[in-house]
């Protein structure tokens, strides 16, 4: 594992831990709404991947072809997606 891969792993782990902490600290009603909407969004992507945002299709294409992936871009996309889901549900704890 290269130095950059180790740093990326550390950053992704820290981001995941922080996200879990944020979700756990949400009020129950907001957490249930977020989870329900996330499940609905994921189901939509799985049922009809052609309607997924172009960024996600691009990243999946890079992953499947074995190209180098910009992990910062993925983190940004995850944050933007979380903000969109939270905004749709009018959550107060959005990033």
Report domain extents, the chain: 3-88
Q: What is the mean pLDDT of the chain?
A: 76
> pLDDT value at position 49?
67
pTM (predicted TM-score): 0.46
On the 0-12 / 13-18 / 19+ scale of CB atoms within 10 A, 38 is middle
**C-beta separation of 88 from 36 below 8 A:** no
Distance CA 22, CA 82 (A): 12
Q: What does the pLDDT look like over 41-83, one tens digit per residue?
A: 777 777 776 666 676 667 677 777 777 767 667 777 777 777 7
């Amino acid at each position: 594992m290269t130095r950059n891969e180790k740093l990326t792993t550390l950053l992704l782990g820290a981001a995941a831990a922080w996200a879990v902490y944020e979700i756990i600290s949400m009020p129950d009603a907001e957490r249930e709404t977020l989870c329900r909407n996330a499940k609905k969004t994921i189901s939509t992507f799985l049922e009809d991947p052609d309607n997924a945002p172009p960024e996600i299709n691009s990243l999946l294409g890079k992953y499947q072809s074995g190209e180098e992936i910009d992990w910062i871009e993925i983190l940004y996309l995850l944050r933007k997606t979380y903000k969109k889901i939270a905004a749709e549900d009018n959550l107060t704890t959005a990033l």
